C-alpha cells in the first residue's frame, strides 16, 4: 500500500511540475463593429466588413517549460467569391506590462467558401522564445489584423482551374 501511495504521489508531482501551458492572462484587441465580434473563444477578432463578410481571429498560448509559443490564426468567410487575408501579432509581457518578446504568424489568406454555411481556416504556428524569457512572461496580448482579401470563388486556386480546363479539353478532343 505504501508503494502505491508513493507512486501516486510521484505521479502527481510530475504532472503538477510539467504543466504544459503557463497560467498567464491572455487578452486581445477587437476591431470592427461590436455586434460583429463573433470571437469563437479567441481573444482577438477583426470584423473585416460585409464585402466580403469575413473575420480574422487570433489566439496564443505559452509553454513556459519549453519556451514554445503557439500562435493560432483563424480566417472565416461567409462569401463565395472572396475571403480574408490576415496575420496575428502576439506580445508577451512581464509583470510590469512591458513587452519582452513579440511573435507573429505568417500572413495567410483564403478565398471564398463553398455554398452553404460560413467556413473557417485555422493555421497554427509554433515559435520558440527560450525558456529564460518564457519564465518571465506574466501576460499575453494578441492582435489579429486584416491585411487584405483573396478573390477566389469557392476558394479554388486558379492553377486548379487551369488544370481542370486542360483535362476537360483533353477529354473533349478524344471524343
- Buried residues in 24-59 as b, exposed as e (16+ CB within 10 A): bebebebbeeeebeeeeebbbbbbbeeebbbbbbbb
3-state secondary structure (DSSP) of residue 22: coil
Structural domain of 140:
21-167
Q: What is the pLDDT of residue 6?
A: 45
Is residue 174 in a domain?
Answer: no
Is residue 30 in a domain?
Answer: yes
Q: What is the pLDDT of residue 17?
A: 42
Overall domain count for the chain: 1
Q: What is the pLDDT of residue 65?
A: 95
Is residue 61 in a domain?
Answer: yes
Is residue 80 in a domain?
Answer: yes
Is residue 5 in a domain?
Answer: no
- Nearest CA-CA partner of 112 in 157, 84, 79, 76: 79
Is residue 131 in a domain?
Answer: yes
Burial of 116 (0-12, 13-18, 19+ CB in 10 A): exposed
Distance CA 70, CA 21 (A): 10
Q: What is the pLDDT of residue 155?
A: 85
Is residue 13 in a domain?
Answer: no
Q: How far is CA 103 from the centre of its chain?
A: 12
Q: What is the pLDDT of residue 16?
A: 41
pTM: 0.78
Task: Provide the residue-wise pLDDT of the chain in tens; the chain has 175 residues.
Answer: 555 454 544 444 444 444 445 578 999 999 887 777 788 889 999 999 888 999 999 999 999 999 999 999 999 999 999 999 999 999 999 999 999 999 999 999 999 999 999 999 999 999 999 999 999 999 999 999 999 999 998 888 766 666 666 666 666 777 7
Is residue 14 in a domain?
Answer: no
DSSP 103: E
Amino acid at each position: 500500500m505504501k508503494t502505491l501511495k508513493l507512486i501516486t504521489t510521484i505521479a502527481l508531482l510530475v504532472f503538477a511540475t510539467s504543466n504544459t501551458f503557463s497560467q498567464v492572462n491572455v487578452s486581445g484587441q477587437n476591431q470592427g463593429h461590436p455586434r460583429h465580434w463573433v470571437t469563437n473563444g479567441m481573444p482577438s477578432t477583426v470584423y473585416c466588413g460585409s464585402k466580403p463578410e469575413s473575420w480574422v481571429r487570433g489566439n496564443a498560448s505559452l509553454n513556459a517549460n519549453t519556451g514554445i509559443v503557439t500562435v493560432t490564426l483563424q480566417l472565416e468567410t461567409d462569401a463565395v467569391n472572396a475571403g480574408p487575408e490576415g496575420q496575428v501579432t502576439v506580445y508577451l509581457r512581464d509583470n510590469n506590462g512591458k513587452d519582452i518578446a513579440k511573435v507573429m504568424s505568417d500572413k495567410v489568406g483564403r478565398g471564398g467558401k463553398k455554398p452553404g454555411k460560413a467556413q473557417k481556416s485555422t493555421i497554427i504556428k509554433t515559435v520558440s522564445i527560450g525558456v529564460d524569457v518564457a519564465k518571465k512572461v506574466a501576460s499575453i496580448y494578441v492582435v489579429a489584423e486584416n491585411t487584405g482579401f483573396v478573390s477566389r470563388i469557392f476558394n479554388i486556386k486558379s492553377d486548379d482551374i487551369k488544370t481542370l480546363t486542360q483535362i476537360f479539353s483533353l477529354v473533349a478532343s478524344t471524343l
